[in-house]
Structure 1
Amino acid sequence: MNNGRVTIRDVAAQAGVSVATVSKVLNDRYGVAAATVDRVREVIAELGYESSLVARSLRNQRTNVIGILVWDIEPFSAELLKGAARAIRGTDYELVVYAGGGKGSGRLGWERRYLSRLSGTLIDGAVLVTPTVLDVDSGSPVVAVDPHSGREAVPTVDADNLQGGRLATEHLIGLGHRRIGFLGRPPRDLESGPLREAGYRSALADAGIPVDPLLVQAAGYDESDVRNAVRDLLDLPERPTAIFAANDVTAIATMEVAVELGLRVPGDLSVIGFDNVPESMMTEPALTTIEQPIQLMGRLAVEMLLDMLAGRGPAQRHVRLPTRLIARASCAPHLPKRAENARLPAQPRS
């Protein structure tokens, strides 16, 4: 036996049978004695043999593998993978996760490149997580989670981002805040970003609070860009008393920068995020956020894809899930500062 990957020839040699016999056992074909089948399977288990996905694809025209394609592994996609893994339990399918680590020749169109590498040989279908485009022609079934461009012909799963943006802003307004900053994503980013900002603007309008353009910042993707955007808001002559960040990662960075600048959260600055990733519960103070059911989104996307692979159309082609407020400790009522002379003790009259 070689020192590398176990091959079908290794199994045949160890079991004392031909390669053709091992192949018949692997593919449940007739013509092999029961005792030989048992012996070959024992050797397969003993050696840890697995046929390659490519070989399986060439042999059966499918691999029974679903691809989860992401631009990068970060808190949102990591949570989504938990739900995706739960969806394949009890099925004949396996999952493979393919990520570029946030690198490559450009963010726009990454899903086309990834699909061209995997479809037809390694995976039977794919879930695209926050894809930039949906006009993909992979030849395999595809489901998109939280796509940039919104609903198209491809089945999609997303959350009610507009309502979530309203819930976050209404919560801050209800605490007495009027100067509320918004930290979003760059223009032409995920559809969810503009929808969350639209919810922010709508809630302010309903409360009769004009939107100050200086309070709306695009945070970018890199940590340095996010922190610079936070500093821009907090360095304003009339800084915000609260900030709604369009995702939890940005909200956590906002709290860190605020503390570095000598501000208390929530005493001097209330902060609310969006997503409810596990990290949001571990901050000090714990982050108030808008929950979108990320694990459920992953599970439903895979279930839709399994229906398509079975020749059934999904019961719903476009699923939108509700969002809800998770109130923790990073937001507090706004207490306007009294005028200096109002804090001075009354002077006795002469």
Structure 2
Amino acid sequence: MSLAAISIENVSYSYGARRALNDLSLQIEAGEIFVFLGPNGGGKTTLFRLLSTLAPLQAGKIDLLGFDLASQRDQVRRRIGVVFQSPSLDKKLTVAENMRQQSALYGLSGAAAREAEDRMMRRLGVIDRAGDLAEQLSGGLRRRVELAKGMIHRPQLLLLDEPSTGLDPGARSSLWEYLQRIRTEQGVTIVLTTHLLEEAEKADRIAILDEGTLVALDRPAALKASVGGDSVTITTRGDVEALAGQLRQIVTEEVRVMESAVRFESADASQLAPRIMQSLGDQIESITFGKPTLEDVFIDKTGRQYWREEASDGK
């Protein structure tokens, strides 16, 4: 059995009276592309700060690549690469100068530094932009340079915080192509945080966080299969609670009220539709059916909608 790249045991973290992480435990295997998914306020940023050694552990234990995060931080830092949500490029330096600066931070110099810089700029497809100022690059190219910087010292583990921030759909797709290439060519374990449902679909496994608690952990397909049938969403201009009460007299599945709509999952959704319309048609504004999505998984596990107004996930 391979050694886990990351082992998290009973980790909790609080900001004053507010708990950002609540007794979190899981393992990430070597070579995985693993995503922590959750809405703002879910605890992703706090966890990223812990894994990247920016914040000290308060409770619990984390091992990264076989090293204890609390007592062996220097060993961990030498073996991880980090790409933050906020850009780290100096816009007034060229791509090559930004790479050289990163080499120096990791003690690389001379021929070894030049080889490492050229290798990563070629691998990430930015060698032809080496002489361009960072401020002249598109958002997608800047992200690729950030990745090249994060990989310059050949880390075993790459941590990325919301890597698609500010990228258009095409650049996001290209970013994932590069992540897959890095994993395949260098055997790097890749762990990222995101609030984007469609981005999480591309991971090997997903951990869904909500208000600091792990609510689901599995492969994307397995998570969606766990919902148990097609999702049905019914909207009304009338009293949504009254509609939910009447609907519970028709279906045996659990019916949830979601703001101005009601939702439930059923393996026989298409068969139920005529009965629902016959009984409640005058109250229904729309009725939609769909295969389970990661949003349905979130709703199934928490009873709440994924996209909602809430505080920033700065913690």
Task: State the TM-score, normalizing by the size of structure 2.
Answer: 0.28
Higher normalized strand content (fraction of residues): 2
* Higher RCO, 1 vs 2 (CA within 8 Å, ≥6 residues apart): 2
